[in-house]
Amino acid sequence: MPPFLELRHVGKSFAGVRALDNVSLAIDAGALHCLAGENGSGKSTLIKIISGVTQPDQGEILFGGQPQRALSPARAIARGVQVIFQDFALFGNLTVAENLALSSELRDGRRLVNWRRVRAVAAEAVARLGVELDLDADVERLPTSGRQLVAIARALMSDARLLIMDEPTTALTRREVETLFRIVRDIRARGIAVLFVSHKMREMLEISERITVLRNGRVAAAGATADFDEAAITRAMTGQEIAATPYRWQGQAGVPRLDVRGLAVPGRFAPIDLAVQPGEIVGIAGLLGSGRTDVALSLFGMHPSYQGRIAIDGAERRIASVPEAIACGIAYVPEDRLTEGLFATQSIARNLLAGSLGRFTRAGLLDLVRAGAAARAMVQSLQIATPTAERPVMELSGGNQQRVVLGRWLLTEARLLVLNGPTVGVDVGSKSGIHRTLRALAMERGLAILMISDDGPELVQNCNRILVMHRGRMVDELAGEAMTEAALAERLRGLS
């Protein structure tokens, strides 16, 4: 039987830049296929070609062995291709029921809305997915995982044969990812093929049957998932080996950089004691809602009514506001760097300097020459990939944007860096670059780092200690030989 979808020697150029070059790919009916690659490797272009948004310059697209000419979005949908984009393309102001039924009402060319039919159509779509969703809730009130379910249910309503999911696990907790995987396997069992676009190797290995890795617009590797391991995927994605040596802190315990006694925010987390030495990278693991983010926020002055004592380099400080936290040398990098951290349309230099302009004043006036030099030096030392620091920060890739946020804090002469999900949404190559940078900063500059993450391997590779939080309490600590991915996963699984 010919595969459901086959691409043969597909090529595509944009303004002379080769986005895809001689890419071949076959997806069997009911197969779970993973498309891997870093940002800019051509994944998005490939999705656009399959969904008919973009036409290839070269090569053929075949559905069920039949060559398909001039694939348009409407024809791709008619063939059963459905794409779930990262932003889900849902209407937050409308109910779940209406979000589900709107497209089919529109497709049927209806002019009037029959609300009973809308509800019935939506109820059937939700039932088919085998999940519970409140049909009358406004979509914007649902968590990310709920919105994703609505998007999946909507995609499956239109007789889908191939479901393309673009980075579906990015904003999900481990538990939600497991639910998603269960649903994806259900979908597959009904003979619907799923193309998973991801850069998370662990998930790819867990869920897929075949993997195709793109690098610079070419197929760098392809085959059955059983023939791949993490190292092989990484090699294919980046073209180089990325060593996974754990971080070892060699320093002597002296006056801790951060010394916390009985820190508590009632209703958020119970009193904790915590000490971090200069040069240490301490991880905090825990499920979403375990209080780990609140610990970070209270260190950054965002829970001014905290109880307990905080000492920085031996001096006790009261941190009741963000400016006070910054004055103490504490930096916080939030998870959602795009909305919380950066001025997207402003230049890299301005973004880097946004927290430290006060340092570059002379008699109340800004010394732009000195500030500019400091920004350019930071671009160099963090290896931010840009021709000049004057480019807008939104032109950078996710990994480089994250470095800009880091660089801003380093310019404030931070002594303690608190990171919340430092590499969420960052591809493998950039991720290891960020890890290298963080480790170098801790090792060479004696920066103390607190790293909160859902990514177990990230913690194990980069921390010298990992604390486990659960329901507002510190329940465990892993260090040295006991600190392995398996041990951490084991501890987290034990919590519920």
Q: Decide whether 105 or 230 has the Cβ nearer to other proteins.
A: 105
Residue selected from 26, 94, 275, 327 as contacting other proteins according to rule CB under 8 A? 94
Q: Does 105 bind other proteins (CB under 8 A)?
A: yes
Stretch that binds other proteins, among 107-115, 284-292, 326-334, 437-445 (CB under 8 A): 107-115
Minimum distance, C-beta of residue 101 to other proteins, in the bound complex (Å): 10
Choice between 154 and 292, CB closer to other proteins: 154
> Is the distance from CB of 197 to CB of 35 less than 8 angstroms?
yes
- Decide: is 102 part of the binding site for other proteins (CB under 8 A): yes
- Please report whether residue 340 would count as binding other proteins according to CB under 8 A: no
User: Is 32 or 76 the residue whose CB approaches other proteins more closely?
Assistant: 76
Smallest distance, other proteins to C-beta of residue 93, A: 3
**Candidate ranges 11-19, 28-36, 95-103, 225-233; the one touching other proteins (CB under 8 A):** 95-103
Nearer to other proteins, 23 or 81 (CB): 81
Q: Which CB atom, from 89 or from 366, has the smaller least distance to other proteins?
A: 89
- Listed ranges 19-27, 106-114, 181-189, 484-492: which one lies at the site for other proteins (CB under 8 A): 106-114
Binding mask of the shown chain, residues 125 to 164, with x at each position contacting other proteins by CB under 8 A: -------------x-xx-----------------------
Distance CA 259, CA 309 (A): 8
Question: Do residues 277 and 249 make contact, with C-beta atoms less than 8 angstroms apart?
Answer: yes
**Cα separations (Å) of 153 from 82, 134, 195, 261?**
11, 13, 16, 48
Q: Which position among 91, 124, 309, 346 is part of the footprint of other proteins (CB under 8 A)?
A: 91
- Distances in whole angstroms, Cα of residue 421 to Cα of each of 108, 217, 284: 44, 29, 10
Count of residues that bind other proteins according to CB under 8 A = 21
The pair of three-digit structure tokens given for residue 427, joined into one six-digit string: 């591809």
- Angle at the Cα of 133 from the Cα atoms of 130 and 138, rounded to 5 degrees: 150
Stretch that binds other proteins, among 28-36, 110-118, 250-258, 456-464 (CB under 8 A): 110-118
Determine the Cα–Cα distance for residues 20 and 158; give it in Å rounded to an integer.
Answer: 29
Q: Which of 34, 46, 90, 384 binds other proteins (CB under 8 A)?
A: 90
Residue selected from 2, 65, 67, 92 as contacting other proteins according to rule CB under 8 A: 92
Angle at which helices 428-445 and 230-238 pack, to 10 degrees?
100
Piece of the chain touching other proteins by CB under 8 A; list 97-105, 305-313, 374-382, 471-479: 97-105
Residue from 14, 66, 89, 315 that binds other proteins (CB under 8 A)? 89
Site string for other proteins, 410-449 (x = CB under 8 A): ----------------------------------------
What is the distance of C-alpha 17 from the center of its chain?
Answer: 27
Strand 416-420 versus strand 448-452 pairing type: parallel
Closest among 92, 97, 151 to 124, alpha carbons compared: 97
Candidate ranges 96-104, 205-213, 342-350, 424-432; the one touching other proteins (CB under 8 A): 96-104
CB of 495 to other proteins, least distance (A): 26
Residues 111-130 interacting with other proteins (rule: CB under 8 A) = 111-113, 115
Nearer to other proteins, 91 or 181 (CB): 91
CB of 64 to other proteins, least distance (A): 25
The one among 55, 72, 93, 380 contacting other proteins by CB under 8 A: 93
Q: Does 338 bind other proteins (CB under 8 A)?
A: no
User: In a 10 Å sphere around its CB, with 0-12 CB exposed, 13-18 middle and 19+ buried, how is residue 317 labelled?
Assistant: middle
Gap between the Cα atoms of 370 and 495, Å rounded: 51
Closest CB to other proteins among 150 and 180? 150
Asked if 10 contacts 61 with a C-beta cutoff of 8 angstroms, the reply is: yes
Lookup result for tokens 């350019």: 376
Nearer to other proteins, 101 or 263 (CB): 101
Minimum CB–partner distance for residue 138 and other proteins (Å): 7
Contact residue for other proteins among 13, 44, 86, 103 (CB under 8 A): 103
The candidate with the shortest Cα–Cα distance to 162, out of 10, 28, 36, 2, is 28
Nearest in space to 438 (alpha carbons), one of 465, 456, 418, 411:
418
Pick between residue 111 and residue 248 the one whose CB is nearest to other proteins.
111
Interface with other proteins (CB under 8 A), residue from 6, 21, 38, 98: 98
* H helix intervals, 328-449: 348-353, 368-381, 398-411, 428-445
Closest CA to 78 of 107, 49, 46, 56: 107
Task: Name the 3-class secondary structure at 476.
Answer: strand
- Beta-strand ranges (E) seen in 225-349 are 258-265, 269-276, 281-285, 307-312, 315-317, 330-333
Q: How far is the CB of 321 from other proteins (least distance, A)?
A: 20
Q: Report CA 375 to chain centroid distance, whole Å.
A: 27
Q: Which helix (H) or strand (E) holds 115?
A: helix 115-129
Instruction: For residues 426 and 409, give the distance between their C-alpha atoms in angstroms, rounded to a whole number.
Output: 19
- Least Å distance, CB 103 to other proteins, is 5
Q: Are 61 and 4 in contact (CB under 8 A)?
A: no
Could you list the residues that contact other proteins (CB under 8 A)? 87, 89-94, 98, 102-103, 105-107, 110-113, 115, 138, 140-141
